[in-house]
Amino acid sequence: MQGSVGRDVIATLIVSVILIWALPLMVGTYTLTVLAIYAMLGLSLGLIWGFGGILCFGQAAFFGLGAYTYAIAAINIGESTLPMIIAVIVPCIFAALLGAMMFYGRLGDVYLGVITLVVTLILFKFVNSTAGPAYTIGNARLGGYNGIPGFPTLNVPGRTDLYIWGDALYYLCAVALVLVYLGVTWLLRSSFGRIAVGIRENETRMSLIGYDVRIRKTVMFAIGAAIAGLAGALYANWGAIVTPGLFSLSQSAEIIIWCIVGGLGTRFGPLLGAAGLGYLKFLLGQQSMINNTMLMGLILVLFVLFLPRGVVPAAISVWRASVGRPRRTGRARAMRRNRRRDRDDG
């Protein structure tokens, strides 16, 4: 176990360094920055859905909350370090409260989906309706549908005269993504992560073993929200403006599509799905022939029909079948054993 973790980390770092260096040769860093941010957002849902079994229809709510929190805190504080930290903490606490309500209330999966969806809608409606001068937090005006422009963006910690933007912001976001990815890897290898997967598989059994499923799901939900919040704060810096569209249902739906297309139950799938579809969206944005939303819908339908497990799990299967060592699969073994037993009995 220990050895494989070490190898995993080294492999991740090597691949990351190569990608971070090579990608700007092909795609502009301005685009790559937002792709890294989307990837982080995809990973946040991939963690709680793929490994925690929590299908959240409102991951965009935590993303938007992170972005708005950063903007508001940055206007009031100026220096960007503390606003970044607050932008992670606020969605995390919000999710912890929401999660506690849902999981301690023993809501079924369907209601969980509905509630997260409704919360996203409410946030969207609320932020949209804050146009008047009455809606201010400290010096920050919420601005309604116009959003909040003109907040101080990231600076080198302690140096308010040194802004991080352009290529530097790309490298920062890419490194943040790698760190989050490694953090998720570590979490999933830890007892907490393994127990979370057990809960995804069978909640009743895990509680009969003695685990308090409610608190564990709440914590998992809050971790996912913290990651989404961080992505949101970085997004605010990339766009230099935050608007209610961040909270929109279409944004939430897109995150779910990223996860399905990339492949649930893997760390890399949702990340790849987010970056890949994000890039596709960027390319489509440069023309007006094909409607972007319709294409997203079409891609989802095609995947559900023909590749329901997603790109990464399918690729892993293909690789194992062709390149990998021909390992006897568990199913083949079980079938042989069953045949043997049937013979013994008869």
Partner 1 sequence: MAEPVLETQHLSMHFGGVVALDNVTFTLRRGELRCLIGPNGAGKSTFFKCLTGLLTPSEGHVLMQGEETTGWPPHQVAALGVGIKTQVPNVMDALSVQENIWLAARRFLPSAQADAKTREVIDRLALGAIARTDLGQLAHGERQQVELGFVAASDPWLVLLDEPAAGMTAGEVARMTEVIHELNRTAAVVIVEHDMQFIRSIASKVTVFHQGAILIEEDVEAVMSDPHVRNIYLGKKA
Interface residues toward partner 1, by CB under 8 A: 191, 194-195, 197-198, 201-202, 204-213, 330-331, 333-334, 337-338, 341, 345
CB of 322 to partner 1, least distance (A): 22
Closest alpha carbon to 83 in 72, 97, 92: 72
Q: Looking at beta carbons only, is 210 or 285 nearer to partner 1? A: 210
Q: Looking at beta carbons only, is 285 or 330 nearer to partner 1? A: 330
Tokens for 35, please give them.
């792709």
Q: What is the DSSP letter of 159?
A: E
CB of 44 to partner 1, least distance (A): 22
CB of 316 to partner 1, least distance (A): 15
Burial class (CB in 10 A: 0-12, 13-18, 19+), 261: buried
CB of 201 to partner 1, least distance (A): 4
Q: Looking at beta carbons only, is 159 or 194 nearer to partner 1? A: 194
Q: Which residues pair with 159 in a beta bridge?
A: 156
CA dist list (Å): 341 to 124, 293, 331, 335, 337 = 60, 54, 15, 10, 6
CB of 55 to partner 1, least distance (A): 17
Q: What is the DSSP letter of 154?
A: -
Which residue's entry shows tokens 């919040």? 229
Q: Looking at beta carbons only, is 163 or 211 nearer to partner 1? A: 211
Q: Which residues pair with 242 in a beta bridge?
A: 148
Tokens for 251, please give them.
């944004």
- C-alpha span between 267 and 200 (Å, rounded): 15
Q: Looking at beta carbons only, is 325 or 331 nearer to partner 1? A: 331
CB of 334 to partner 1, least distance (A): 5
Q: Looking at beta carbons only, is 4 or 191 nearer to partner 1? A: 191
